[in-house]
Amino acid sequence: MGREAGGGERAVGGRRLAQAQSAYLRSAAEQGIEWHPWGPEPFERAAKLHRPVLLDIGAAWCHWCHVMDEGTYSDAEVTRLINENFVAVKVDRDENPEVDRRYQRQVGALTGEGGWPLTGFLTPDGAAFFGGTYFPATDQHGRPGFRRVLKEVDRLWRTAPGTIQENTGAVAAAVVRMSEGARPSGRAGAGRSFVGGVAARLASSFDPVHAGFGQAPKFPHPSALAFLHWEGFATGEERPTARALETLLKMADGGMNDQLAGGFHRYSVDEGWHIPHFEKMGIDNAALLASYEEGVRAFGDPRLLETLTGTAGWVRTVLGDPDGGFAASQDADNAPGDDGAYFTWSRKEIDGALEPTDAKLVRLLFGVGTEGRMPHDPERNVLFRAAALPEVASGLGLSPEEAGRRLEAALATLRAVRAQRPTPVVDRARYAGINGAMIGSLARAARTLADPALLADARRAADRLLARAYRPEAGIAHRLGADGGSGFGRLEDNALVAAGLVELAGASAEPRYAQAAGALLGLIEREFRSDAGPLLDLAPRLYDGPVIGALGEKVYPVEDTPNLAPNAAVALAEIRYAALVGELGAGGPLDRARSLLGALLPRLDGAGLFGAGTALAVGLAETPAARVVVVGSGAAADALARAAERTWHPNAWVFRGVPPEPFSLPEELAGAGGPSGGARALLCFGDRCLPPITEPAALSAALRGAERPRA
């Protein structure tokens, strides 16, 4: 490949990435660009050569990252310009979320743009002075060509150092403003005011036609749905829970939900949930598993139950690792230039796979030829539920039962046909945060569905993490690889694993999971708390990555994005843990949650939808937890336990018999296992206990009629 301009060292192209753990980095190993992985070496090289750094941040699941790799970064002139004038660094945002978080903020402060791919131009000390997202090689799609951008950035670098300095100064000032935030006021009623503000913003942004929040593109916002459940419970109003139900049903019927194989795509590009962005993310599906599990308990709707079981099935089949744990994501694409070919259907393909009546049933039910047509290829369709099955059956002269049987057989046939297509690649990387979220959601789903296989999956994932990626003095590592855990000191991983272990401990009544959760929550409080009050995304003493450029900045991840913010995840985990182990007194986990929330509220003023997770935590902190102990054996005890497990309450734990330590119960519950009486349930809200209950319907009614939040 010749000698590198100005460097004198042998050029290696993208082959520096060939041995990377990241599949995204390895995919660029054959490019001609002199890519470097994240680390000190490229910045030292940039300083030595007096060149700017080109930073590319993307992911294996990212469609436009692939488009830029296959088009822009494969362009010969772009390659020449980069190799001659820049030092190029490629980052996997899943592998290094702390790098992505900081440079999204820096580039966003300059351009107002964010997302993936993130394209940043940095000084050799790591300060951004220009950037954007996707750039084509030449001017098109209303975006400037990268050839022109590279030439202009090189010109600025060589001739206008004052402009570079001005831009980096503006970014630094913006980052300081974002980092400082507001200080806690200690104002009485601040929590109630914040919760009311979030509720008002959710109401004003709710889409009355298609449900969900805002217009296109439309994201699920699982923490907002959880908040709506709590709001309806707290206020006694039906509208918040009706909005949650409507959104869950619209998403279940939409093209964002894979109608053939289950599992949710990342978001909908239109406001009607018809056409998705096709990547399937582990973290999104974990969050939506929890949303549909809650929906099943709250509403008992069969469509929600079907979606819950379908999503859990996709997670187990596609992301599951036989040795325990879950992969990170499934790509949107299966080949260069692809955009959803694996997931979409033409009428001809459907008619060729099915006999005429079944083909017509599928076309009518799934809206083929209507709103699900792909904009770039109207012959291809995303399947979405355009009509109810009984309605379609009636139009075809079929009974609902026969239509259901035909539909089941037709979907099995279409799944088999689709399985013969080139399949989008699954990124098999195992990240702790994704696995922690999945552990919690599967544990909850296992309890609600009475499915021991889901609980076994959650156990295997937790056991593998605790055995290979956990150190008592350092917490949970970010990534679990063949050689064990790597990447310590990240808040999100510790927060989501702690939260997942809390749910697993409650579902299994196994002390070791509760003890591990408590240890992680204690470590978070010690290592991640900042002088400003909120939790830092990186623990100064534990973070083992290189502190380069923006990595020296303090970042407090307080907003949902749209999945739950790490700070809110910790607060909710503390609240759930307090109820699980009965540590409700002063100085315990509940007080830690309240203290953290007091520091978060001023930083979330006006966050609205993106503060929903924190608002939920504020509400739950003042809502007496429900704890149920079912004693006895046989069908009567089973029925009581099932009633409690399938009844919605915002913060309830159900035990079969008195659990061992560290699960601590009020005195009345602790004595529930005595010999007197047959099958019965004892129910306590906080430390107030009701008389024994022997009828499942009465137990459900008592849970639904629970104490509301304290004023």
Residue pLDDT, tens place only, 377-398: 999 999 999 999 999 999 999 9
Amino acid 2: pLDDT: 35
Amino acid 190: pLDDT: 86
Residue 655 has pLDDT above 50, yes or no: yes
Alpha helices in 485-588 (DSSP H): 491-508, 511-527, 566-581
Give yes or no: residues 439 and 405 share one domain.
Answer: no
Burial class of 1 by CB neighbour count within 10 A (0 to 12, 13 to 18, 19+):
exposed
Q: Is 711 helix (H, G, I), strand (E, B) or coil?
A: coil
Residue 10 has pLDDT above 60, yes or no: no
Residue 73 has pLDDT above 60, yes or no: yes
Give yes or no: residues 394 and 502 share one domain.
Answer: no
Distance CA 33, CA 74 (A): 8
Give yes or no: residues 150 and 292 share one domain.
Answer: no
Position 214 in a domain: no
Residue 692 has pLDDT above 90, yes or no: yes
Residue 322 has pLDDT above 70, yes or no: yes
Of 621, 642, 662, the last residue of a domain is 621
Domain count for the chain: 4
Length, in residues, of the chain: 711
Amino acid 186: pLDDT: 54
Of residues 382 and 142, more confidence is placed in 382
Contact assessment for residue 377 and residue 338, using Cβ atoms and an 8 Å cutoff: no
Position 434 in a domain: yes
Give yes or no: residues 368 and 451 share one domain.
Answer: no
The encoded tokens of residue 549 equal 């450029």
Which range, of 141-150, 274-283, 302-311, 675-684, averages the lowest pLDDT? 675-684
Give yes or no: residues 65 and 76 share one domain.
Answer: yes
Of 572, 601, 621, the last residue of a domain is 621
Amino acid 31: pLDDT: 94
Question: In the predicted model, what is the mean pLDDT of residues 642-662?
Answer: 94
Number of Cβ atoms within 10 Å of the Cβ of 419: 11
Which range, of 5-19, 314-328, 364-378, averages the lowest pLDDT? 5-19
Amino acid 265: pLDDT: 98
Burial 294-303 (b: 16+ CB within 10 A, else e): bbbbbbebeb
Question: In the predicted model, what is the mean pLDDT of residues 19-25?
Answer: 95
Position 649 in a domain: yes
Amino acid 184: pLDDT: 53
Residue 12 has pLDDT above 70, yes or no: no
Give yes or no: residues 26 and 167 share one domain.
Answer: yes
pLDDT-based confidence at residue 174 (cuts at 50, 70, 90): confident
Angle between helices 190-205 and 612-621 in degrees, nearest 10: 140
Amino acid 673: pLDDT: 60
pLDDT-based confidence at residue 711 (cuts at 50, 70, 90): low
Give yes or no: residues 378 and 434 share one domain.
Answer: no
Position 198 in a domain: no
**What does 654-679 look like in DSSP terms, one character per residue?**
EEESPPPTT----HHHHTTTSSSSSS
Residue with tokens 């790509």: 331
Q: What is the pLDDT of residues 24-49, one digit of tens each?
A: 999 999 999 999 999 999 999 999 99
Position 586 in a domain: yes
Closest to 537 measured CA to CA, from 606, 487, 607: 487
pLDDT-based confidence at residue 8 (cuts at 50, 70, 90): very low
Amino acid 50: pLDDT: 97
Amino acid 707: pLDDT: 76
Give yes or no: residues 440 and 387 share one domain.
Answer: no
Residue 521 has pLDDT above 60, yes or no: yes
| Average pLDDT of the chain, as a whole number | 93
Amino acid 676: pLDDT: 61
Angle between helices 76-85 and 146-159 in degrees, nearest 10: 20
Of 369, 393, 427, the last residue of a domain is 427
Distance CA 278, CA 333 (A): 8
CATH of the domain at 593: 1.50.10.20
Q: Is 445 helix (H, G, I), strand (E, B) or coil?
A: helix
pTM of the full predicted structure? 0.95
Amino acid 3: pLDDT: 35
Give yes or no: residues 616 and 644 share one domain.
Answer: no
Amino acid 677: pLDDT: 67
pLDDT-based confidence at residue 14 (cuts at 50, 70, 90): confident
Q: 132 lies in which domain range?
A: 13-180
pLDDT-based confidence at residue 406 (cuts at 50, 70, 90): very high
Position 677 in a domain: yes
Give yes or no: residues 556 and 476 share one domain.
Answer: yes
Position 190 in a domain: no
Residue 67 has pLDDT above 70, yes or no: yes
Q: What is the pLDDT of residues 204-214, one digit of tens each?
A: 999 999 999 99
Position 216 in a domain: no
pLDDT-based confidence at residue 177 (cuts at 50, 70, 90): confident
Give yes or no: residues 434 and 423 share one domain.
Answer: no
Q: Which helix (H) or strand (E) holds 252?
A: helix 239-253
Give yes or no: residues 641 and 497 share one domain.
Answer: no
Question: In the predicted model, what is the mean pLDDT of residues 283-288?
Answer: 98
